[in-house]
Every structure is written in structure tokens, then in C-alpha cells.
Amino acid sequence: MITKQQMQDLAMLARVGVPEAELDQVAGEIDAIVGYIDILNTVNVEDIVDMPLQVNVTHADANATTTGTYFDTLIAAAPDSQDGFYKVPKIL
């Protein structure tokens, strides 16, 4: 169980204002969360196969562009450029 002093220290570190009257209640809630995490840590996940990365299946671009397709055109259209970068006025 988290002590009242530990709860005050945790609230200070998290920069969260916890009223004195609610310290015991919040400490109990944090104990419940930590207990749930302990339960999750006991789950055997050795036989679980890695899932592939998620793919957007609702919209597949038919003519997906590759990186840099319009690079030269965009740099040429810039008011000022240098070494392949937009050149902007210094503001500081």
C-alpha cells in the first residue's frame, strides 16, 4: 500500500494537486492500477506470434508517389534556395 507521504511525493513529482482529504483515495486507486499491471505481467506471451504492421485497407492509393518525386520542381519554385533547401530570412 502506498503511504500518504509517498502519495504526496508522487503528486509533487507529477505536478498534480491532490487535496489532503483525497490522498488516501488516490493512493488506493494507484494501488489498484499497480495491482492490475502486476496481473498483466503474469500473462504468458511466449506463444503469441508478432502481428504485422497495421495497413490502411479502407483507402489504398492507386498512384502512390515516391518520396522526392516533385523535389526539383518545388525547390525551383522557391523564392530563394541553397543546396537543395528553401532559404528563408533569419528571424532572430
Average pLDDT over residues 36-57: 82
57 band by pLDDT with thresholds 50, 70 and 90: low
Residue 58 lies in a domain: no
pLDDT at residue 42 greater than cutoff 80 = yes
Q: What would the grid cell of residue 19 be?
A: 487535496
Q: Cβ distance 78 to 86 under 8 Å?
A: yes
Residue 64 lies in a domain: no
Residue 10 lies in a domain: yes
66 band by pLDDT with thresholds 50, 70 and 90: low
Cα dihedral: 30, 32, 36, 41 (round 10): 60
Backbone angles phi, psi at 83, to 5 degrees: 55, 40
> How much is the mean pLDDT over the chain?
85
Residue 87 lies in a domain: no
Residue 28 lies in a domain: yes
Residue 70 lies in a domain: no
Residue 50 lies in a domain: no
The residue range of the domain holding 32 is 4-41
Q: What is the total count of domains within the chain?
A: 1
